[in-house]
A and B are shown apart, each in its own frame.
Chain A
Amino acid sequence: EVQLVESGGGLVQPGGSLRLSCVVSGFTFTTYWMHWVRQGPGKRLVWLSRISSDGRSTTYAASVEGRFTISRDNAENTLYLQLSSLRVEDTAVYYCARGGISPADTFFVWGQGTLVTVSS
Chain B
Amino acid sequence: DIVLTQSPDSLAVSLGERATINCKSSQSVLHSSNSQNYLAWYQQKAGQPPKLLISWASIQESGVPDRFSGSGSGTDFTLTISSLQAEDVAVYYCQQYYSSPYTFGQGTKLEIK
Contacts and interface: CB of A to CB of B under 8 A. Distances in A.
B49 A104 contact: no
B52 A104 contact: no
Main SS at interface, chain A:
loop
A35 B56 CA distance: 18
Nearest to B59: A106
Interface in A38-57: 44-47, 50
Q: How extensive is the interface on chain A, given as a class?
A: 20 to 34
Given A45-B50, A95-B49, A111-B49, A106 B104 contact: no
A107 interface: yes
Contact of A44 (B40, B101, B107): B107
Contacts of B55: 106
A61 interface: yes
Contact of B104 (A46, A50, A103): A46
A47 B102 contact: yes
A110 B93 contact: no
A35 B98 CA distance: 15
Q: How extensive is the interface on chain B, given as a class?
A: 20 to 34
B49 A106 contact: no
Nearest to A96: B49
A106 B107 contact: no
Given A105-B97, A106-B40, A106-B97, A44 B49 contact: no
A104 B104 contact: no
Interface string B72-113: 000000000000000000000101011111111111000000
Contact of B100 (A45, A59, A95, A106): A59
A106 B101 contact: no
Nearest to A46: B104
Contact of A110 (B40, B50, B98, B103): B50
Contacts of A108: 52, 61
B106 A44 contact: yes
20 contacts: A44-B93, A44-B104, A45-B50, A45-B95, A45-B104, A46-B104, A47-B101, A47-B104, A50-B102, A59-B100, A103-B100, A104-B97, A104-B99, A105-B97, A106-B40, A107-B50, A107-B52, A111-B49, A112-B49, A113-B49
